[in-house]
Structure 1
Amino acid sequence: MRARLTLVAVLAAVLAIAVAVVTAYRSVSPLIADEVDRGLADRADTVVALLEAGATLPQRADMTEQLLAPDGTVRPLTAGREPLPVNDSDLAVARGTQTRSETEVTIGDRSYGVLTKARPGGGAVMVGQNYAEVERVDREFLWRTVSITGVAVIVTALISWLAVGRILRPMRRLAHATQRITTTHDLSTVLPDAGRDEIGDLTRDFNAMLAALRLSRAQQQRLVQDAGHDLRTPLTSVRGSAELLQRARGRLDPADETQVLTTLVQEAKALDALVGELVDLATDRHTDEPAVAVDLAVLVEESAQRARRRSGRSVTVELADPATVTGRPQALARCIDNLLDNAAKFSPPDTGIDIHLRGARLTVLDRGPGIDAADQRAVFDRFYRADRTRSTPGSGLGLAIVHDIVTAHSGSVFAAGRAGGGAEVGFDLSGAAHSGAEAVG
């Protein structure tokens, strides 16, 4: 890329210089021609004036002068010079039928510009100027132009090579970092800030992407570690129960066998629920839904009805100016269902669950053991279990899923103890709320 950009810069410089040279040459050439014409006219006037005054004509190395009689006779005025050729126009001037004549002739290997001007009293004066000096100036102009163009191209190429190299240096660092990460899978690389131009923006985006990948990898590793830890308990129980049944081979008491089978079913259900929750966390399937306008009041009522059917509990809903938010309806419904399942799991069987929806802030209140101040943030971590709830069945992923979905909707989660006993757990989607007439982005 560096060579290509340098080549483009050099070609642009050459084109610009060529246009400037051609324009200058075309502008200067008429000026030189006019200057030659004026020189010939001045010389002819000088010759006529000196001849009339009887003065001696000074010689010029680049000039040839002669007198032309009406009969065509030529009298040289410049000793040692070849006479200028005479044509019909020159004779017409000498005979008085024409005032002046301008021609170009070649004598030997030299070109001349010739001016024939009528002389008072008859005849004409012919003045010829050798173009050798003009041609020399022209050649020198072209040579200097080519030399300057060559120097300019070399300097332009050098400056462009250095400048493009400096400009592309952050791009090379970015390319090398990408190659290194691809080869080593090391995401710890952080590129230095490259300025405020487009390359700097690309570098910052690359660093942000690396940070997101590092976070994703760390979350995956933590998820695998936590999942491995939590899977061991039910798997150990299932394996122990299965080995016990295998060794007993019908020799167990019916009551003991029923107990072992019940344990197998319960642990299998726990494993099934845990695997399902792990799949939801690992795949982030809620992100596949398109974002639309979601009426939180409708979601709350539907989730409350499902909770009543599943748990048989009393679920009351209190609405205060419910909001419409931009979000994914199935994912948000999953959040509310998880909050209600969490409340039902930790509440005594004869207690109800309350749902308060104020604007875009939803709170689920229960009468369970409550949440200690030290655990109010940790309850949303994956596989977290407070000391007082470790014996309660569950995967420890329900509130973690709520946290991930709400965070993806630019919202926040919260948990606190409830006055009179119990807990208040919920989320706030005020950042995604909009008026009913507002379009979904």
Structure 2
Amino acid sequence: MTGPVARFRALPLRSRLALLTATAVAVAVAAVSVACWLLTRAQLRDELDNSLYSLSASASADYQRLLALTCRPSGGPGQANTAPGTAYVQLVRPDGSRCVGPGSPPVVVERSDAEVAARLRTESLHDGVTTGGQPVRVLTRTDDETRYTVSISRPLTEVDGALNQLALVLTVLAGIGVVGAGAAGLWVARTGLKPVDRLTGAVEHVARTEDLTVRIPVEGEDEIARLSRSFNAMTAALASSRDRQAQLIADAGHELRTPLTSLRTNIELLARSEETGRAIPPEDRRALLASVKAQMTELAALIGDLQELSRPDAAGSGGRLEVVALHDLLDTALRRARLRGPELTITAEDVRPWYVRAEAASLERALVNVLDNAVKFSPPRGTIEVALVDGELTVRDHGPGISPEELPHVFERFWRSPSARSLPGSGLGLSIVARTVTRAGGEVRLIPVGPKEGCGTRAVIRLPGAPTPPPATTPQK
């Protein structure tokens, strides 16, 4: 069984469909043909039996007496009349002997016929055979008036001939039907699988050329159309992902070039001083080392941001989602922000408890990025106001603010406003904030406080949650 099944599965899909269609039609045609043949056979035999009963009922007493006088113990081949529609007649005795009527071949007397003659049965209807081997249908009955047991039979060749012709016709029609069904199935399979062929060709083209601009025409609303739409959406998503990846690599290379060039220059100066023996003045040496340290810190921060952005966008793919206290994470981020801006005043007078489901490390990093952005743009000895009320976190600084032209770009990767290009940073902080907040089901906005420069900016982060932790806080993937 394994061999034929394996060979069947190895066939192309259209061949399998055509073969299954032909097989189904063959089974159906065979079932109908057999049923038709059996019904026709039963009908013809019923008609033959009815004719025997009619002949038996029409055999009068005088005819039976005449038959008794003219019959012979056995007939001969020359006496037999085998024309279609002919009935054979013979008398049967209780001892099983027979007396054959004129023009009739002798029919073998069965036990049931002798029992009818012996008054053990009222009648006997069965298939029999003549002494010459001709099959016949036999009806044996005893006449109540004459007491003769008359056996009337008719040849079955009439029925069998019609049945053989019917079987031949049905076989020919079944063969034509099966061949036609196979051809129709192959045509239907080819026609129905044309969209699949197009989809297969498109997939093979993408696999061979990595061309993600291929799109399949979509027609209708059936399963093939849904599959084509899904393929088009998949290739579009892959193309967009590849474009973003290429853009990220290009932007990262551009951002890494500046600190690496500066590092290389400073290190070459220090190495040349060691090689030539020319000492660098202590103040210049300290400045070079401080610059190297700052550039290394900037590189480490940039690499960390790139690693954060390289993680999959799907929720839960980067780490474990768990119920975390947003106010506790905010308290940790505030302590780090105060260390980075010791000359600034950071107030957090209205911080209320709020619990959210998120990735704790990523969310803390996002809060630190928001506060770092406020620290970076705040003027010396400025003030930063922080509040957390009903799941809405606001961070307001008094820096230069954001112009309406720059506002749509603030969450783009590596985008930096002209006023911030001289400041440290990679332009990835707010992009990470937007990504993390969106993954947690929230939203983030930057709102200019006023039209005048120096009015500052308000960062607003809203996260879904509750003021009290839920009963079950088991982390889940």
Which of the five TM-score ranges fits, normalised by the shorter chain?
Answer: 0.7 to 0.9
Q: Is the 8 A contact 2:374 2:396 kept in 1?
A: yes
Can you list the C-alpha shifts for 1:191-241, whole angstroms capped at 9, x where unaligned? Answer: 222543444333333222222211111111111111122222222222222
Q: Tell whether 2:106 aligns with 1:83.
A: yes
CA shift for structure 1 position 346: 1.2
Please say if residues 397 and 457 of structure 2, whose CA atoms lie closer than 8 Å, have aligned partners that are also in contact. yes
What amino acid does structure 1 have at the position aligned with 2:137? G
Give the one of 293, 297, 301 matched to 1:265.
293
Distance 2:112 2:310 in 1: 103
**CA offset digits 1:156-192 (Å, max 9, x no partner):** 2223222233333333222222221111111111222
Q: Deviations over 1:383-421 (max 9, x none)?
A: 212112221111111111112223334443321212471
**Partner in structure 1 of residue 230 of structure 2:** 205
Tell me, yes or no, if structure 1 residue 427 matches structure 2 residue 450.
no
Alignment of 1:89-100 (within 5 A): 89-90=112-113, 93=116, 98-100=121-123
Checking the alignment, whether the CA contact within 8 Å between 1:377 and 1:415 is kept in structure 2 is no
Quick one: which of 396, 400, 403 aligns to 1:365? 396
Which residue of structure 1 aligns with residue 156 of structure 2?
131
Determine the C-alpha separation between the residues in 2 that align with 1:318 and 1:209: 48
Moved more, 64-73 or 139-148: 64-73
Q: Using the alignment, how far apart are the partners of 2:140 and 2:468 within structure 1? A: 96
Q: Which moved more, 1:294-303 or 1:337-346?
A: 294-303
* CA–CA distance in structure 1, aligned partners of residues 98 and 204 of structure 2: 92
Partner amino acid for 1:136? Answer: G
C-alpha separation in 1, matches of 2:92 and 2:229: 91
Residue 301 of structure 1 aligns with which residue? Answer: 331
- Equivalent in 316, 320, 327 of residue 290 of structure 1: 320
Counterpart Cα distance in 1 of 2:377 and 2:92: 134
Describe the shift of the 1:366–1:16 C-alpha distance in structure 2 as closer, same or farther (beyond 3 A). same
Q: Residues 360 and 428 of structure 1 are in contact (CA less than 8 Å); yes or no, is this contact kept in structure 2?
A: yes
**1:343 and 2:390 are equivalent in the alignment:** no
Which amino acid letter does the alignment assign opposite residue 100 of structure 1?
Answer: E
Q: Distance in 1 between matches of 2:401 and 2:318?
A: 35
1:160 pairs with 2:172: no
Between the aligned partners of 2:457 and 2:120, the Cα distance in structure 1 is 125
What is the CA-CA distance between 1:41 and the residue it aligns to?
0.9
Q: SS in structure 1 opposite 2:410?
A: helix
SS in 1 for 2:87: strand
Residues 186-201 of structure 1 aligned to structure 2 (within 5 Å): 186-193=211-218, 195-201=220-226
Verify the 8 A CA contact 1:355 1:364 in the aligned structure 2: yes
Is contact 2:92-2:113 (8 Å) kept? no
Cα distance between partner residues in 2 of 1:155 and 1:17: 12
Match of residue 65 from structure 1: 88
Alpha-carbon deviations, 1:341-375, whole Å to 9, x = none?
A: 11111112422322233444332211111111111
TM-score between both structures, scaled by the size of structure 1: 0.86
Name the structure 1 match of 2:72.
none
Which piece of structure 1 moves more, 176-185 or 33-42? Answer: 33-42
Which shows bigger deviation, 198-207 or 135-144? 198-207
Shift of 1:44: 1.9
- Distance in 2 (CA, whole Å) between partners of 1:414 and 1:208 is 29
Provide, for residues 260-317 of structure 1, a one-character-per-residue CA deviation record: whole Å limited to 9, x for no partner.
3322222222222222212222234983212333443333233223323443344333
Match of 1:114 in 2: 138
Q: Answer with 263-272 or 372-381: which moved more.
A: 263-272
What's the counterpart of residue 33 of structure 1?
45
Structure 2 unmatched runs, 5+: 1-12, 67-80
Quickly say closer, same or farther: Cα 1:89–1:381, change in 2 above 3 A. closer
The superposition leaves residues 134-154 of structure 1 with CA deviations (integer Å, 9 ceiling, x where unpaired) of: 112222232233223222222
Question: In the alignment, is the contact (CA less than 8 A) between 1:376 and 1:414 conserved in 2?
Answer: no
Which residue of 2 is the match for residue 387 of structure 1? 418
State the AA in 1 paired with 2:285. Answer: E
Q: Does the 8 A contact of 1:316 with 1:353 survive in 2?
A: yes
- Contact 2:353-2:468 at 8 Å conserved across structures: no
Q: Does 1:232 align with 2:263?
A: no
CA distance in 1, matches of 2:469, 2:279: 68
Distance 1:230 1:85, change over 3 A: closer
Counterparts of 1:384-423 in structure 2, within 5 Å, are: 384-419=415-450, 421-423=455-457
| Maintained 8 Å contact 1:294/1:329 | yes
Segments of 5+ residues of structure 1 without an aligned counterpart are none
CA distance in 2, matches of 1:323, 1:209: 38
Distance apart, 1:254 and its partner CA: 2.6
> Does structure 2 retain, via aligned residues, the 8 Å contact 1:382–1:396?
yes
User: 20, 24, 31: which is aligned to 1:12?
Assistant: 24
How many residues align structurally?
A: 435
Q: Deviation per CA, 1:11-53, whole angstroms, max 9, x where unpaired?
A: 3333333344444545554444333222211122223388389
Moved more, 283-292 or 168-177: 283-292
Distance 1:161 1:87, change over 3 A: closer
Other-structure match for 2:128: 105
Query: Residue in 2 aligned with 1:215?
Result: 240
- Give the one of 348, 352, 356 matched to 2:383: 352
1:423 counterpart letter in structure 2:
T
Answer yes or no: is the 8 Å Cα contact 1:48–1:125 preserved in 2: no
